Structure 1
Amino acid sequence: MKKLERQKIIRQLIQNNKIETQEELSQRLSEKGITTTQATLSRDIRELGIIKNRYDEGSFYAVFDYEGEPENTGVIRTAMSLMATMSAYAQSVRRAMFILVVHTGLGEADLVADAIDTSNRSEILGTIAGADTLLITCQDEASAANFEREIRDAIQPN
């Protein structure tokens, strides 16, 4: 199956169902006879501008619609601020000196890492993303403490 066809089906699944996790999305695709890797699914989610919205009944994927060209993934990515990305995907954050550990849903850590990497923040030296855990290396403890506070504010708004 071609990428555009798969992404069209992903978009329809997200728009028509309350899907909480990448695993659930993968299962729904499988039910339609579409097999994909976790990495491909993460890339599709990022390219389609799909975010996770939090509601009273839980967190569900939603398509971030931008009025304009359908294939404007660069515009979609920049339209979502770094802290909006944190709010959508980060579940917790902890700090060990100048390193932050952020936990996300399964398959979502790379989405957060990409948002951090493309933000070009000088105090962040780099990121390493696993399936649901992200390591953020900051230039010093003060930078890490400030960024940790920003992330906490994003995931637990007052």
Structure 2
Amino acid sequence: MKSARHQAILDLIEKYPIDRQEDLLEHLRREGFDVTQATVSRDIRELRLVKTSTGDGRYRYMSAGNAGKVAHSPNRFETIFRESVLNVDYAGHLVLVKCFSGMANAACEVFDAKSWEHVVGTLSGDDTFLILMRTEEDAAEITRQLQRYTVRRG
């Protein structure tokens, strides 16, 4: 449930100009999440949300990646990747990253925030994202690297 709640938080702060934890708590409860103030506070910290100025003298929460491309910590990448990704495989130059439903955008966002060699680009859907690599060898290598962050479920 934590990964679903984290995705819901990211969706809510993108959709609404939320500037207080209490407002985020209320939005989450309307979305069906039974959460406490302490949980919301911890989620904000884990997601590394920051308050940024909206230009009209007000503030709102944003992910660090959307607030001027602040670098993500390796811990954030590992946490979100481990909580979101089910499997990583490749065919030719393409790497397929299979995620829990609704989590591909978050996993792709933290992937894109890191520097990777030989990555041409990414494309994200709801439960899958693709990584286009320069060569098949590059695809095989990044697949091996990313598989270290996946937890075998089953």
Q: TM-score, normalised by structure 1?
A: 0.56
Contact (CA 8 Å) 1:83, 1:151: kept in 2 or not?
no
Structure 1 residue 64: Cα displacement: 5.5
Q: Distance in 1 between matches of 2:147 and 2:103?
A: 17
What one-letter code is carried by the residue in structure 1 that aligns with 2:43?
V
Aligned to 1:78: 72
Contact (CA 8 Å) 1:127, 1:134: kept in 2 or not?
yes
RMSD over aligned Cα atoms: 3.7
Aligned to 1:114: 109
SS in 2 for 1:106: coil
Structure 1 residue 112: Cα displacement: 1.5
Deviations for 1:118-142, whole angstroms, at most 9, x for unmatched residues?
2132311111011111111111111
What one-letter code is carried by the residue in structure 2 that aligns with 1:29?
R
Q: Which runs of 5+ in 2 are unaligned?
A: 1-14, 34-39, 53-62
> Are 1:90 and 2:85 counterparts?
yes
TM-aligned CA distance change 1:140 to 1:64, over 3 Å: farther
Q: Which runs of 5+ in 1 are unaligned?
A: 14-24, 33-49, 51-61
What one-letter code is carried by the residue in structure 1 that aligns with 2:149?
A
Deviations for 1:96-134, whole angstroms, at most 9, x for unmatched residues?
012111111122111122122221323111110111111
What one-letter code is carried by the residue in structure 2 that aligns with 1:4?
I
Q: Distance in 2 between matches of 1:156 and 1:107?
A: 18
Structure 1 residue 70: Cα displacement: 5.4
Q: Distance in 1 between matches of 2:134 and 2:21?
A: 38
Q: Distance in 1 between matches of 2:32 and 2:79?
A: 31
Contact (CA 8 Å) 2:71, 2:113: kept in 1 or not?
no
> Are 1:4 and 2:18 counterparts?
yes
> Are 1:150 and 2:145 counterparts?
yes
SS in 1 for 2:111: helix
Count of matched residue positions in the alignment of Structure 1 and Structure 2: 115
5 Å matches for 1:2-151?
2-4=16-18, 8-10=22-24, 12=25, 29-30=30-31, 63=43, 65=45, 71=51, 73-74=63-64, 78-79=72-73, 80-151=75-146
Structure 1 residue 3: Cα displacement: 2.5
